[in-house]
Chain A
């Protein structure tokens, strides 16, 4: 089955949807390559990133429409880019000039683009795919006029709806739009649910004409602040990129200051001359607009970007920002132990990755592994409650309790011997049990039989090392379902004492 054909093949009469054998019969010299949709998607995503040079708001069109295979030439779900150019066009000298610029830049990359331009994403989608050359642009406010000659499929309605409209003689959007709304709504009411998210014909029409909001999920929210820099000559060396980064950080911080914001999440974009793009993200522990600090966060990441034939544009987006009043600026620089840990946390996180730096926060739970959780490494943590009268807890805890072979004198008593990590440890002293019943409403993936109560013992071996063992389940109690299905309680080690 052909999924896509180039211009030459189309001229020979091939079309997507044909079987390869048929196509070969038609055109024996046909060069066919296997379709790799995943890679197509990735390439499109890269291209979307690259399009950040035109507008900060661009994404792969995820196509919440019907888009069956019969949708004609461009029937695939994700085969377009969506650029929100509101407020950007004047930078290129108007909408038409901008469209031409985008097309020219893409043509430089060997990509043939059909650009539709309209007030709404849906209308632009229709124009790009169904519009005729030279008539793919809808003037502001004249969307209906531009859409009217297009076939009804351009509304991204379900194929069944489109067939029905055609059978009724309504072949163009203009004809469908001329119908009374009530009639249209009534006729297609029942068919809306046929395809997920396709909406009724009326809804689609309203979206295209801007009468109804068209939430575009794939479009990222515009960054709070951004700074961009295009270079006359593509940069290939690290020093140049770092200098550019420093300037971008300065610009961004100035913009943030004007807006009274501090960045919490940042994205640094690199656009390569050959159409590739790369993005690096960092987040900060607290709102900041310290240019030097921001530049340092990216310092290790710039090296990881392959400049290829050169990078000709860079942009620094504050993806997420929070209000930051000027008073919050650091008053004291770095005192001994009293400094602001924010920059340190940021640097650690930027290099080690999200989630590798955290604080421990208490959770109200009797289950030991649930009694703490990882929290954002903010500047100050919540104090831990005292636990007066409760048994001691180990200071190291295994994520998954490790099974041990234990021997107990009496079935319900503490062990006298256990083998852990192939070492036999004779227990000299033991304290317990501390029985902890499971939380019946939750399920834990700890490898320990669920639903079994645990009897915890703090034990000490002959050399004075202390361990926290527990027995999952009770003897003579049907609850115990261990992994081997033997129905006997098993022993685990859960933690270590100092």
Chain B
């Protein structure tokens, strides 16, 4: 891991990180490419092969109100996976009651093709787990997105086996937090953070969206990688550049964040590049405040 990190450590330049992002996406046709978050501080903590495409990746909000943020983070991971194909989204009644239903236009704004989403709404929570397992084993899904209110260890183990068997990742939003044993490959805790305000006189933030200084900025999350098989814990605050793309779909902009745990500085370019997703035509100048 250190080797992978060293060429870029401390580079802090926009260009390099953009290259790092694009080379992940470019060799899609070749060998199985590593599935990474695109955030240097986090990728450095992952094993060299990246996140396992045949594993369970759990996320939970730090508080109940952070669940949407955790789900949006999973969606961003899904975008980074870059597979095309149906994505079953398995929900029990609890998640629907708490967060509402999936809303296609919003998912499109997140950079996912809403037509790929295959919504599976079940009447019982148990059935949602069954649907996840079935979707994983079938191998017909690009990935599976699941929501569960409660997950027993045995069920988690079953899902992990199914994911490995089908070679399909399960991105699981847990409503019951991340305590206790789990068979997941990685576990993430997501906290929504208020955005850092850009300097209104800064050239980079000079665009329509940030004219309105009272408007909500792009999302900003604290991502905590609590556990990862073959990796180590890491924490990173992540914010995409404002105005470049919708909130939720973090743009190819960059921001410099401190990795609180390692004291390291990483480039938090977020989760954006995917060949299928149309990029904004206008490339913004480097996010000056962040790069500097």
Closest partner residue, chain A, to B84 (CB atom): A337
Q: Does residue A380 face the partner (Cβ distance < 8 Å to B)? A: yes
Q: Does A463 contact B139, Cβ atoms closer than 8 Å?
A: no
How distant is the Cα of A338 from the Cα of B83 in the complex, in angstroms?
A: 9
How distant is the Cα of A146 from the Cα of B246 in the complex, in angstroms?
A: 79
Find B113's partner among A356, A384, A496 (CB 8 Å cutoff): A384
Find A383's partner among B102, B115, B212, B217 (CB 8 Å cutoff): B115
How distant is the Cα of A373 from the Cα of B216 in the complex, in angstroms?
A: 28
Q: Does residue B100 face the partner (Cβ distance < 8 Å to A)? A: yes
Residues 442-466 (chain A) with a chain B CB within 8 angstroms: 458-460, 462-466
Q: Does B105 contact A371, Cβ atoms closer than 8 Å?
A: yes
Q: Does B110 contact A498, Cβ atoms closer than 8 Å?
A: yes
**Contact status of A429 and B99, CB under 8 A, knowing A337-B168, A352-B131:** no
Closest partner residue, chain B, to A339 (CB atom): B140
User: Which range contains the number of B residues in contact with the other chain?
Assistant: 35 or more
Closest partner residue, chain B, to A402 (CB atom): B100
Smallest Cβ distance from A425 to chain B, in angstroms? Answer: 8
Main secondary structure of the interface of B (DSSP, over half): mixed
How distant is the Cα of A498 from the Cα of B71 in the complex, in angstroms?
A: 7
Residues 326-342 (chain A) with a chain B CB within 8 angstroms: 334-341
Closest partner residue, chain B, to A336 (CB atom): B167
Give every chain B residue within 8 A of A304 (Cβ-Cβ). none
Find A495's partner among B100, B140, B166, B168 (CB 8 Å cutoff): B100
Find A352's partner among B127, B167, B217, B246 (CB 8 Å cutoff): B127
How distant is the Cα of A464 from the Cα of B219 in the complex, in angstroms?
A: 7
How many inter-chain residue pairs (CB < 8 Å) link A and B?
Answer: 215
Q: Does B138 contact A396, Cβ atoms closer than 8 Å?
A: no
Q: Does residue B66 face the partner (Cβ distance < 8 Å to A)? A: yes
Q: Does A387 contact B105, Cβ atoms closer than 8 Å?
A: yes
User: Which range contains the number of A residues in contact with the other chain?
Assistant: 35 or more
Residues 162-198 (chain B) with a chain A CB within 8 angstroms: 166-168, 192-195
Specify which of B84, B86, B122, B167 lies most central, judged by the most chain A CB atoms within 10 Å of its CB.
B86
Smallest Cβ distance from B284 to chain A, in angstroms? Answer: 17
Give every chain A residue within 8 A of B167 (Cβ-Cβ). 336-337
Q: Does residue A309 face the partner (Cβ distance < 8 Å to B)? A: no
Smallest Cβ distance from A494 to chain B, in angstroms? Answer: 8
Q: Does residue A92 face the partner (Cβ distance < 8 Å to B)? A: no
Specify which of B88, B118, B119 lies most central, judged by the most chain A CB atoms within 10 Å of its CB.
B118
Q: Does residue B75 face the partner (Cβ distance < 8 Å to A)? A: yes
Q: 13 additional contacts, CB 8 Å, given A334-B139, A361-B115, A498-B110?
A: A334-B138, A340-B140, A347-B138, A351-B130, A352-B131, A361-B104, A384-B108, A394-B106, A395-B248, A396-B99, A429-B216, A431-B214, A465-B66
Find A360's partner among B109, B119, B168 (CB 8 Å cutoff): B119
Closest partner residue, chain A, to B128 (CB atom): A352
Give every chain B residue within 8 A of A356 (Cβ-Cβ). 120-123
Give every chain A residue within 8 A of B217 (Cβ-Cβ). 429, 460
Give every chain A residue within 8 A of B212 (Cβ-Cβ). 431
Chain A interface (Cβ < 8 Å from any Cβ of B):
334-341, 343-345, 347-348, 351-353, 356-362, 368, 371-372, 374, 377, 380-384, 386-387, 392-399, 423, 428-431, 458-460, 462-466, 495-498
Closest partner residue, chain B, to A362 (CB atom): B104
Chain B interface (Cβ < 8 Å from any Cβ of A):
65-66, 68-69, 71-73, 75, 83-86, 88, 99-110, 113-123, 127, 130-131, 134-135, 138-143, 166-168, 192-195, 212, 214-217, 219-220, 246-248, 278
Q: Does A360 contact B104, Cβ atoms closer than 8 Å?
A: yes
Smallest Cβ distance from B28 to chain A, in angstroms? Answer: 12
Q: Does B72 contact A498, Cβ atoms closer than 8 Å?
A: yes
Q: Does B248 contact A497, Cβ atoms closer than 8 Å?
A: yes
Closest partner residue, chain B, to A462 (CB atom): B194
Give every chain A residue within 8 A of B140 (Cβ-Cβ). 334, 337, 339-341, 343-344
Closest partner residue, chain B, to A340 (CB atom): B140
Give every chain A residue within 8 A of B115 (Cβ-Cβ). 359-361, 380-384
How distant is the Cα of A360 from the Cα of B117 in the complex, in angstroms?
A: 7
Give every chain B residue within 8 A of A337 (Cβ-Cβ). 83-85, 139-143, 167-168
Q: Does A336 contact B134, Cβ atoms closer than 8 Å?
A: no
